[in-house]
Each structure stands twice: as C-alpha cells, then as structure tokens.
Amino acid sequence: MKLNTLFEQKKIVFSFEVFPPKKTSSIQTIYDTLDALSDLNPDFISVTYGAGGNPADHSTVEIASTIKHKYHIEPLAHLTCLNSTKEHIGQVLNELRENEIENILALRGDRNPDVPPKTDYRYARDLIEELNHHGEFDIAAACYPEVHPECPDMEEDILHLKEKVNAGASHLISQLFFDNNDFYNFLYRVREAGIMVPVEAGIMPVTNRKQIERMVSLCGASLPKKFVKIMHRYGDDPAAMQDAGIAYAVEQIVDLISNGVQGIHLYTMNNPLIARRISQSVASLIRCSNRAE
C-alpha cells in the first residue's frame, strides 16, 4: 500500500523509524527489535539507508522486506543519492520492486568530508524527480522545522522544500525538534508558501546526555530551557534521565495531537522498551482522534 493513502484514511498517522545495525553487530539485533515493536501496530516503519548511510550496504531493503512480508506492516525505505550513481540507484529500485516495496523516503544524504560526492545527483529534489518519473513509488521527503543546517535561512529552506513537493513528494517527515512552537511556526510558513501535503512531526525521546549532544551536533536542533533543566538535573542518573526523556516526548506528542498534527514519526533508536512506553501512553489519544475523523 502506498503511504499517501494513509493520510487520506486517518486523521493521525503514527509511525516508527529503525536503522540497520552497524557492521560490527549482528543483523539479528534489528529483527529482535522488530519482534518487540510489531505488536504496537504502527501505520508504517521507516528504515534508514544502510549502516551509517553506506550505499554498499543492502540491509535496508532486506529489513524493509521483512517488515512488509513477516510483520505485514508497510515499510518506508530511505534512499540517499549524494554518494550514489544513477546506476546504483537503478539497482536499488530493482531490489525494491522485487520485494514489493512501494514507499521511499528520498534524501540527499550527509556530506562526508573524506569522500568526494558523486555528480549524478546534487539534491534530494533530483532524486525525487527521477523516482516520480517511474510512477510506481510513493515518495516522502524530509523537512526541517529549524532550517536545514546548510541553508542560510527559513525562506530559502522552504523554497527548496516546495521544489521537492513539486517534484513529486506526497508527504513530509520532519527532523527532530524539542520545542513544539518551532514546529507550529514552521508549519504555518509551509502552508503560507502553498505547500499543502501532510507533514509528520518527528519526535525523538532523549534518554541520555551523550545522545542529545550527538543529535544536536548533527541536526542543529535547539534545546529549550525546560529541556536543558531536565538534562542538568537528571543527566547523570540513567534511569531518571530515561524516565524524564520519555515523559518529555509524551508531553510533546500530546500537545501535537491536541493541535491537529497529521502524523507522529517516532525515532525509536532501535529501543523497543522506550517506543513501547511512549506508544502506550498516547495510543488512546490517537484512537480517539481517528474515530472522530
């Protein structure tokens, strides 16, 4: 099933993200994670591209196929293009077809200062255009409530976002954020720019200090004072920080649902315990909202 139909059928779409294990870990670890997540009944599960975005890693398609055929949950396969040739992208598309995977999150991918990028694709928009020409995939794209780290301002970032939607992206998944007002302000400007496709809010429960420091450095998300106080008070107590991080994520989700968000995309970090606690905390809200629809 193509995911764009979900947003037509439901008022709130609830989804997870998982990632392939590192090369030093067994592939079985992700299957153990999926076993623990599957009974939570997400609307779909996205799978990031390879181990650390490695284009030579084929585990994304393998994991996405397992999600679809073993757990009967729709997968969303990430596909990055900055370090890929058209030939390689064609090979991946053939693998997706063979495994009956219809949904792709089309991304540029992160720059690696030690590896010169390929020249076939410069931006996610270029990949989306190519995928759209095939006509057989539903295409999602990423968006950044606090502006893409490489973009000078929100105006230009939304211009690029509109290019991705015009190229064929049917829905958007946001980068993580910790202040819902940043998301609401972003969504207002997106709609004002004439971008009307569904936007899922990306939520990451932060359960340890190192995790938040790494995430902020990678994506540039800002930390509101409320969250900084939580981190300072509980950051040195792993159990307390986990409980506080889960509570903060649940509070974000409750507020987002109450304000009519079209979807919640939970970055699980392959931690089924945390995903379960959050999912169970908001399940009745999602059911109530979807019944109202």
Residue among 32, 59, 29, 55 at smallest CA distance from 47:
59
The CA radius of gyration of the chain, in Å to the nearest whole number, is 18
Instruction: Pick the catalytic residue from 17, 130, 146, 200.
Output: 17
**Mean pLDDT score of the chain, rounded to an integer?**
92
Q: pLDDT tens digit string along 252-290? A: 999 999 999 999 999 999 999 999 999 999 999 999 999
Max Cα–Cα distance, the chain, nearest Å: 52
| Spatial distance between the Cα atoms of 218 and 220, rounded to a whole number of angstroms | 6
Going by C-alpha positions, the residue among 101, 184, 175, 179 that lies closest to residue 138 is 101
| Centroid of chain to Cα 271 | 15
Q: What is the mean pLDDT of residues 225-250?
A: 93
* 17 a catalytic residue: yes
Tokens of 58: 């084929």
pLDDT at 165 over 50: yes
184-194 confidence digits (pLDDT tens): 999 999 999 99
Q: Select the more confidently predicted residue: 284 or 119.
A: 284
Q: Which phi and psi angles does 98 have, rounded to 5°? A: -60, -30
CB contact set of 221 (below 8 Å; sequence gap of 6+) = 146, 175, 176, 177, 178, 215
Question: What is the b/e burial string over 13-24, where b = at least 16 CB atoms within 10 angstroms of the residue's CB?
Answer: bbbbbbbbbeee
The letter for the amino acid at 161 is L
